[in-house]
Amino acid sequence: MKKRPLGQNFLTDYNIAQNIIQLAHIQPGEPVVEIGPGKGILTQIIIEQADSLTAIEIDPHLVRDLQNRFGDTPSFKLVEGDAAKFDYGSLGTRFKVVSNLPYYAATHIMKKLIHFREHIQSMTLMLQKEVVDRLVAEPGQRSYGSLSVYVQYYCEVQRLLEIPNTAFSPKPKIDSSLVGLTPLAQPKVKVSDPKLFFKLVHAAFFHKRKMLKNNLKDWQHLFIEENGQAQMADIDLNRRGETLSLKDFADLANHVHALSEV
Ligand code: SAM
């Protein structure tokens, strides 16, 4: 298959497109942002339902075609540019995002959106299935990792729909899934130093098969021995990072933070 440098696998199944927009629950009066409108299959349906739509597309040829097709619609605004660099804060608050994200930049753009979470009501995103497996994974599951913790810390995550690769042209090698991310008013767990929390989470998953006592060596001076076992914040460090819940990671980070303040 020819390489698609801009992740241009266009959705061609109109029923699935309608299903996606239904699952985005667009209500009257709500502004919507679409990333990568492409040939406009989702754009057309969103325009029929939303009071306003801002679409961000990087490919100038597609921008020209979209402008020709929808340019006369007053509620439609098209931005030519890179969605990974866009200042979403400039769009005001509480819009909904809908996107069939380009594979190559999907995680990067999703993290950028989470950075602007205070402006966003919900995100309905199509991603490769394997990435969605990671977003929804719980402790102990094979796909659970630092991306699961990162996204679940900031958002309610819900797997919404499976989309086979046959629904796209050109057909990608992999299947996709639709996921709903709803930014939380407060992060899922209380953390005194988020930077330290994420540093610890990354370290805990660095060598996935290693025990915490090996991955968390930077904090070795804070380990205590209990019945011959290394512990920190009452967590047995013979465990692997993949078994820890968000609350466990928060307990570890808050413990380290408290001790470093003494
Ligand atoms: N929404 C269309 C659909 O569902 O058929 C197209 C989806 S296609 C997977 C991804 C789209 O994102 C393409 O139109 C591509 O040109 C565009 N794109 C790729 N990288 C982008 C970026 N960094 N910023 C904005 N758009 C981008």
Q: Tens-of-pLDDT digits for all 262 residues of the chain?
A: 444 579 999 999 999 999 999 999 999 889 999 999 999 999 999 999 999 999 999 999 999 999 999 999 999 999 999 999 999 999 987 999 999 999 999 999 999 999 999 999 999 999 999 999 999 999 999 999 999 999 999 999 999 999 999 999 999 999 999 999 999 999 999 999 999 999 999 999 999 899 999 999 999 999 999 888 999 999 999 999 999 999 999 999 999 999 987 6
pTM of the predicted model as reported, rounded to 2 decimal places: 0.95
Is ligand 1 within 6 A of the CB of residue 38?
yes
Cα(216)–Cα(42) distance, integer angstroms: 45
Cα(188)–Cα(181) distance, integer angstroms: 13
Measure 6 CA to ligand 1 centroid, in angstroms.
7
Measure 46 CA to ligand 1 centroid, in angstroms.
16
Measure 152 CA to ligand 1 centroid, in angstroms.
25
Is ligand 1 within 6 A of the CB of residue 8?
yes
pLDDT at site 228: 86
Kindly report the CATH number that applies to the domain delimited by 10-183: 3.40.50.150
Measure 26 CA to ligand 1 centroid, in angstroms.
21
Cα(69)–Cα(79) distance, integer angstroms: 15
Is ligand 1 within 6 A of the CB of residue 110?
no
Query: Looking at the chain, which residues constitute the CATH 3.40.50.150 domain(s)?
Result: 10-183
pLDDT at site 2: 47
Is ligand 1 within 6 A of the CB of residue 59?
yes
Cα(159)–Cα(195) distance, integer angstroms: 28
What is the residue with the minimal CA distance to atom 19 of ligand 1?
6
Measure 99 CA to ligand 1 centroid, in angstroms.
8
Among 57, 64, 103, 175, name the best residue to mutate to test ligand 1's pocket (greatest count of ligand atoms within 8 A of Cβ).
57
The domain defined by 194-261 folds into Helicase, Ruva Protein; domain 3 (1.10.8)
What is the residue with the minimal CA distance to atom 2 of ligand 1?
38
**What number of H helices and E strands is found in the chain?**
9, 12
Query: Looking at the chain, which residues constitute the CATH 1.10.8.100 domain(s)?
Result: 194-261
Residue 231 CB coordination number (10 Å) = 16
Measure 100 CA to ligand 1 centroid, in angstroms.
7
Is ligand 1 within 6 A of the CB of residue 42?
yes
Cα(175)–Cα(170) distance, integer angstroms: 13
Q: Which residues contact 119 (CB under 8 A, 6 or more apart)?
A: 88, 89, 91, 92, 93, 94, 95
pLDDT at site 93: 78
Q: How far is CA 187 from CA 14, 151, 190, in A?
A: 36, 10, 7
Measure 7 CA to ligand 1 centroid, in angstroms.
6
Cα(195)–Cα(45) distance, integer angstroms: 40
Is ligand 1 within 6 A of the CB of residue 223?
no
Measure 123 CA to ligand 1 centroid, in angstroms.
16
What is the residue with the minimal CA distance to atom 1 of ligand 1?
37
